[in-house]
Structure 1
Amino acid sequence: MEEQKSNVRAVERALDILLCFTAGTDLAMTEIADRVGLHKSTVHRMLATLEDKGFITRDRVTDRYRLGMRVWELSAHLSNNDDPAIIWLPEMERLRDMLGETVSLYVRDGKERIRIQAVQSNQAVRRVAPVGVRLPLYVGASSKVLIAFADSQEREAIMADASWPSSIDAGLFREQLEDIRRNGYATSIEEREPGAAAVAAPIFNRSGRLAAALSISGPANRLTREIMKEHAPVIMNSARLMGTMLK
């Protein structure tokens, strides 16, 4: 039993090391050790094993690590037929071309939201939205959509969590969520990032369960409250269409 637990811990540690590369593509061993909270000698041994298996590659000049080709080999076998980020891409591109702003797709993962797909605006001044970024769940139009349209137990659990900022008035936030559910969309202006604005709508699967949040974002001087109100029906229509594409 003890040997089994030790093996499981080793697997968890190896996965934690790989997950470090969701926040950076080029890392030193000391950076990895700090992020996973392990001694450098332990990390060094695990990196060597991952390198032998092709999951990690080391630059012999800089002594920094990157993901190896084996990761890309695995990703190549993901089923595009079942991946919403792929299925929804044409509609996201159509929405970008229609409204002229960056289009993003978010899902909730615990206490955070993750951008799983993005189509960048073609305008000279635009908001760049890198895929894979994790963002706080308590601020931003997409975050509010992911909370507002979650089931009531999930919604209360999110707001009752110790990580929820005490500076946010729970009563006022609940009122805002009620407005979002009633209107069918959420907006934000400079809530997370100065000079940026966004409007988001929920995507529901065929069972009526929340699947993701669809948003457009751009400079606040271009995405004014009036413009976002005009865009909202278009975004909600795209979200409804995207929901019908799910199995």
Structure 2
Amino acid sequence: MEPSRTGKAEDGKSNVRAVERALDILLCFTTESDLPMTEIAERVGLHKSTVHRMLATLEDKGFLERDRSSERYRLGMRIWELSAHRSRSGDPAVICLPEMERLRDTLGETVSLYVRDGSERIRIQAVQSNQAIRRVAPVGVRLPLYVGASSKVLIAFAEPGLAAQMMASEALPQGFDPQSFREQLEEIRRLGYATSMEEREPGAAALSAPVFDRSGRLAAALSVSGPAARFTPSIIREQSALVVQSATRMGAMLPG
């Protein structure tokens, strides 16, 4: 007897759901380098026994590795093998790195590159300051779009409608002022750069400029950040032209 069409559809949905769960587990490692099984289960909202089976499969295929002494999981070599074969020909994180290093050497502060992904921004490249007291910017971190210099750049120079969509989100924190934010966006478009002083993190300041590719499309946000005690508003204003110029040079290297 042939299986019913309903049975085939249910099997297909089950297979897709299994793939989604496996990917959800792997995505847990976008913010952490290693995690115990219990925390992974909490993050993906699945029973421990289900997560245990999926972790065993991912480990068997090489996508995860398990530290048997601590029973914590981390990304396996298969992930890095896949990454090595990813095309880098138009990758801003690779193309812009030399200019980011030059800017870091000129200004002495940490330089980062961000792109927007939905309602978040992702740091895709970073060059750390060489100073003893500095902002440490790990690559791959996701941050909200409603706060920070780079976030404001990614909204101010994005396609029309993104700002309104973002400000209608239920994820905005209590006390968020849409009118003040709109005024900031207008000022950023006029100046060509954005600043933030201890908006997202106490004691930190940042300056950000848009990176447009050769077709004029917003490709990324270039950011320079440092301790607020050293990276003061007056210094930020003095250095804004250098950051804008670096962002322009980066854009000229990116394909349209």
TM-score range, shorter chain: over 0.9
> 2:106 is matched by which residue type in structure 1?
M
Q: Which has the larger radius of gyration?
A: 2
User: Could you report, residue by residue, the CA deviation over 1:81-118 in whole angstroms, capped at 9, with x for unpaired residues?
Assistant: 22110110000000001111100001111111111100
- Determine the C-alpha separation between the residues in 2 that align with 1:74 and 1:28: 24
Identity among equivalent pairs (%):
73
Output aligned runs, 1:44-83, within 5 Å: 44-83=52-91
SS at match of 1:200: strand
Displacement of 1:166 in angstroms is: 4.0
- Determine the C-alpha separation between the residues in 2 that align with 1:31 and 1:51: 17
Aligned mate of 2:122, from 104, 110, 114: 114
**Corresponding residue pairs, total:** 247
> 1:233 is matched by which residue type in structure 2?
A
The equivalent of 2:210 in structure 1 is: 202
> 1:136 is matched by which residue type in structure 2?
P
What's the TM-score once normalised by structure 2's chain length?
0.94
Aligned residues: CA RMSD: 1.0
- Determine the C-alpha separation between the residues in 1 that align with 2:40 and 2:176: 33
Structure 2 unaligned blocks of 5 or more: 1-8
The equivalent of 2:33 in structure 1 is: 25
Structure 1 unaligned blocks of 5 or more: none
- Determine the C-alpha separation between the residues in 1 that align with 2:108 and 2:120: 27
SS at match of 2:199: coil
- Determine the C-alpha separation between the residues in 2 that align with 1:209 and 1:157: 19
- Determine the C-alpha separation between the residues in 1 that align with 2:177 and 2:65: 47
Output aligned runs, 1:86-235, within 5 Å: 86-235=94-243
User: Could you report, residue by residue, the CA deviation over 1:188-242 in whole angstroms, capped at 9, with x for unpaired residues?
Assistant: 1111111110000001112212111001000111111111111111111111111
- Determine the C-alpha separation between the residues in 2 that align with 1:19 and 1:68: 13
